[in-house]
Structure 1
Amino acid sequence: MRTIAVTPIHVADLAIEGERMPVHVHLIDHPGGRVLVDTGMTEIHPALSDFVTRVLPLDARDLDLASVDVVVNTHLHADHCGGNHLFAGIPVHVQRQELEDARSEEEYTIREWVDPPGVRYVPVDGELELLPGLRLLPAPGHTRGSQIVVIEGGPRPVVIAGDTAVWFGELDDPGTEGQRLIRSLDPERVWLAHTDDPWEPGTGR
């Protein structure tokens, strides 16, 4: 199998306690198709205006949206699913628990961003091999239904973590089931949604 490439795409900036926090989604080029992990946002919703400072929507970027074959939501907080509407008709894989919580819990997310017209969810129950060498694994902690994407085929796996860890320290000293799962995989690198560079064990970054 040829190399599976991961490309981070910067889609927004947040301001958290006066500090910039970027938002990234991740595009996987796999021999079996293109997989987009999370979709960012396409607008600043009034409920988010206190901390979202900029959005860089996927439909305004140099990305052929029609080339995306599959979407994965690591979870359904607004900054991770706000572009789902751009992929109407494309299968969107999300853990069933996450979808149920996003649809039922108050102040969990922006409800209209979860279920815009045409979005077709594929509820996942636990582990799923999405494509050869590309697995979805439940990783509770940030939310009950969070999941990670594990890319295999090299000597060590590469992980796309969403918000399972928000900053490097949460992987240096894991405190949730999902963070401990990532460390147990002995990954080569872990792409996070809210850092510009991946976490790499033993490098201090």
Structure 2
Amino acid sequence: MTRTQPALPADITVLERGWLSANNVLFQGSEGSALVDSGYFTHASQTVELVAASLAGGALDLLINTHLHSDHCGGNAALQTFWPQAETRVPPGHLEQVRHWDPVALGYEPTGQYCPPFRADSALRPGDEIRLGDGLWQIHAAPGHDAHAVILFEPDARLLISGDALWENGFGVVFPELEGEEGFADVGATLDLIERLAPEIVIPGHGAVFSDVPRSLDTARRRLAGFVADPHKHARHAAKVLLKYKLLEWQSVPMPDALCWLHGTAYFRLLHARYFAATPMQDWAGDLVRDLVASGAAAVQEDLLINA
């Protein structure tokens, strides 16, 4: 049975993408057009085509990012090339790393991902408001999944653009926690913020637009409680998510190449050293692959690891 999507105002178009690319939220109003998040770099040409088709010959005036993980800003450079006049605004915590382009500080090299360098013109500052389409949206800090992430809320229509702070059935990996910094408490505080805002409709960074926000908050809080009780569970989940994400990009890869990539990627070495050092790296890597296969997220055919 097909679920009916919640109705959105006419000035908003949600381009729902697969999990390799974040959703793109396009606004077209009397004061110009704006796009929130731009997907992964391997989908950049498709992102430009989708946005151009939706604009029907019009210009893109503003590009903003809820946070700077590669699946949310990997299309920025292509969009800037196609619409060079578009202003680009990013959360303030990473503004200088973008301006001086530091792929290590931005997390792309450590996670084994890639993001083409792009321009950042100004900051998307929590506490400010921003005109998107025909609405005036509040900018709120939303640390947890990413320490510098923001969410956007339009109080009249009670709409929330949540990035990876809240999905219909969870939230994104809590990267600060994996790096030895506070993260779980920030996730909880951000969920509390969303509950106080009381949105009626949420446009998430991944997955379909949804309206049963209390159920999603309850799901997220139960998931968070499980991770707080067992941080190793969260770390293992994160490792599998990162490997699955790369497999979404590869689609298929020789098993030795996949294991070589895993061994050579700094984030996996960090996770292994911090949480799983008692298991030899080679055995741990093999366990991750077997877990993906057992869950149906991957398959092995002869010597190939295949996305499923």
TM-score w.r.t. length of structure 1: 0.71
| Alpha-carbon distance between aligned partners in 2 of 1:56 and 1:194, rounded to the nearest angstrom | 19
Please report how far the alpha carbon of residue 67 of structure 1 lies from its aligned counterpart in structure 2 after TM superposition.
Answer: 2.7
| Alpha-carbon distance between aligned partners in 2 of 1:114 and 1:176, rounded to the nearest angstrom | 32
Please report how far the alpha carbon of residue 193 of structure 1 lies from its aligned counterpart in structure 2 after TM superposition.
Answer: 1.4
Cα pair distance change 1:11/1:73, threshold 3 Å: same
Cα pair distance change 1:115/1:204, threshold 3 Å: closer
2:51 paired with 1:58? no
Match of 1:6 in 2: 12
Given candidates 65, 70, 82, the residue that maps to 2:74 is: 82
Cα pair distance change 1:57/1:189, threshold 3 Å: same
Match of 1:153 in 2: 156
3-state SS, counterpart of residue 42 of structure 2: coil
| Alpha-carbon distance between aligned partners in 1 of 2:15 and 2:28, rounded to the nearest angstrom | 13
Aligned partner letter, 2:204: L
Please report how far the alpha carbon of residue 139 of structure 1 lies from its aligned counterpart in structure 2 after TM superposition.
Answer: 1.1
3-state SS, counterpart of residue 95 of structure 2: helix
Aligned partner letter, 2:63: V
Please report how far the alpha carbon of residue 204 of structure 1 lies from its aligned counterpart in structure 2 after TM superposition.
Answer: 6.7
Instruction: Kindly indicate whether the alpha-carbon contact (under 8 Å) linking 2:16 and 2:207 is maintained by their aligned counterparts in 1.
Output: no
Please report how far the alpha carbon of residue 58 of structure 1 lies from its aligned counterpart in structure 2 after TM superposition.
Answer: 1.4
Please report how far the alpha carbon of residue 162 of structure 1 lies from its aligned counterpart in structure 2 after TM superposition.
Answer: 0.9
Instruction: Kindly indicate whether the alpha-carbon contact (under 8 Å) linking 1:98 and 1:146 is maintained by their aligned counterparts in 2.
Output: no
Aligned partner letter, 1:7: T
CA distances 1:82-129 after superposition (whole Å, capped 9, x unpaired) = 11011234111211113346655457136973633xx24312332221
| Alpha-carbon distance between aligned partners in 1 of 2:201 and 2:216, rounded to the nearest angstrom | 12
Q: Aligned residues: percent identity?
A: 23
| Alpha-carbon distance between aligned partners in 2 of 1:12 and 1:78, rounded to the nearest angstrom | 14
Cα pair distance change 1:143/1:203, threshold 3 Å: closer
| Alpha-carbon distance between aligned partners in 2 of 1:193 and 1:115, rounded to the nearest angstrom | 21
Match of 2:34 in 1: 35
Cα pair distance change 1:68/1:144, threshold 3 Å: same
Aligned partner letter, 1:149: L
2:100 paired with 1:98? no
Aligned partner letter, 1:109: Y
| Alpha-carbon distance between aligned partners in 1 of 2:122 and 2:187, rounded to the nearest angstrom | 29
Cα pair distance change 1:188/1:167, threshold 3 Å: closer
Instruction: Kindly indicate whether the alpha-carbon contact (under 8 Å) linking 2:25 and 2:36 is maintained by their aligned counterparts in 1.
Output: yes
Paired residues, what number? 179
Question: Which structure dedicates a bigger proportion of its chain to strand?
Answer: 1
Instruction: Kindly indicate whether the alpha-carbon contact (under 8 Å) linking 1:151 and 1:159 is maintained by their aligned counterparts in 2.
Output: yes
Cα pair distance change 1:142/1:169, threshold 3 Å: closer
Question: Which structure dedicates a bigger proportion of its chain to helix?
Answer: 2
RMSD: 3.1
Which protein has the larger Cα radius of gyration, Structure 1 or Structure 2?
Answer: 2
Given candidates 117, 120, 136, the residue that maps to 1:115 is: 117
| Alpha-carbon distance between aligned partners in 2 of 1:112 and 1:197, rounded to the nearest angstrom | 27
| Alpha-carbon distance between aligned partners in 2 of 1:6 and 1:108, rounded to the nearest angstrom | 30
Given candidates 178, 182, 189, the residue that maps to 2:190 is: 178
3-state SS, counterpart of residue 22 of structure 2: strand
Instruction: Kindly indicate whether the alpha-carbon contact (under 8 Å) linking 1:76 and 1:99 is maintained by their aligned counterparts in 2.
Output: no
Match of 1:188 in 2: 200
List runs of 5+ in structure 2 lacking aligned partners: 1-8, 172-185, 218-308
CA distances 1:106-164 after superposition (whole Å, capped 9, x unpaired) = 57136973633xx243123322211252222211111111011112323xx10001111
